[in-house]
Amino acid sequence: MKTIEEITEHGVTERRFQLEVDGETVPGILWTPEHAQGPRPLVLQGHGGTQHKRVPNVLSLARRLVRHSGYAVAAIDAPGHGDRMTDEDREHNRAIRRDGGAMTEERRKRLTERGRRATGEWKATLDALQRRDEIGDSGPVGYWGVSMGSAFGIPFVAAEPRITCAIFGLAALTMGREALASSAEKIEVPLLFMNQLNDELMTPDSALALFVAFGSKEKTMHINPGPHMGIPGFEVEHYETFYARHMGTATS
């Protein structure tokens, strides 16, 4: 893991980094408390489709968890997103926005391949982060990701025994994503699942089907009225409470 840039604002140190994984350069950001020492809980954040590692909802939650709970938080650009985006990727994203995000066979194949790569990249990122003194390999690890952050995050969490708890959402067993059920069944950690009642990309029934598929004995579903991109801001309080319950807080 190579640090590219480091800045500190209002008690939060932000480090941009790069990691080489299977011949790909994976850009990421690590947020920690200023002057952080010793091991601490870590949260990995996955961004949504057409977004990137420092999109506002990722950045604001990261800073909140650092300031309020003393956590380390990290995000990486998913394949074909952020600093990894090609001209072909940009045209693909424009097409998705034009037709409202409808799933086609070509998009299903692309999503599946990128999800496979994302699992390996998250594992390599977690390996590198746990070698850092201010994080260590003895603390709990949480995951957060909605929409594409869930589509990629669910297979990752299913394959990663180091994850302590997870927050998913805005995902469902719709066309092209039926395989999420087999990954969801393997997940047994506590989870919080976010859903929007008027989501234009998936029905409440298909989201509920995914929620039911999770193997976790402790799982909670929050349903709010509104569209796909409309999770209310007050839900961040529930994110924070959820992580504190399962991962505690840091003291240094």
The predicted-structure confidence for 197-250, as pLDDT tens digits, reads as follows 999 988 999 999 999 999 999 999 999 999 999 999 999 999 999 999 999 999
Question: Mean pLDDT throughout 94-102?
Answer: 65
Task: Round to whole Å and give the CA distance between 181 and 155.
Answer: 10
* 110 — pLDDT class (breaks 50, 70, 90): confident
CB 163 within 8 A of CB 141: yes
Tokens of 115: 């999800």
Tokens of 99: 């037709």
Percent over 90 (pLDDT), the chain: 81
Domain boundaries, the chain: 2-247
**Candidate ranges 45-59, 87-101, 165-179; pick with highest mean pLDDT:** 45-59
**Given this model, what pLDDT does residue 29 score?**
98
Backbone angles phi, psi at 114, to 5 degrees: -65, -35
Handedness of CA 193, 19, 74, 187 (dihedral sign): positive
CB 135 within 8 A of CB 161: no
Paired with 20 in beta bridges are 25
**Given this model, what pLDDT does residue 84 score?**
93
Task: Round to whole Å and give the CA distance between 244 and 197.
Answer: 27
**Given this model, what pLDDT does residue 14 score?**
98
- pTM, entire model: 0.92
Q: What is the pLDDT of residues 156-198, one digit of tens each?
A: 999 999 999 999 999 999 755 678 999 999 999 999 999 999 9
Question: Mean pLDDT throughout 99-119?
Answer: 76
- Angle (CA) 28-31-34 rounded to 5° is 145
Q: Say which CATH class 2-247 falls into.
A: alpha beta
Half-sphere exposure of 214 (CA within 13 A, CB side): 28
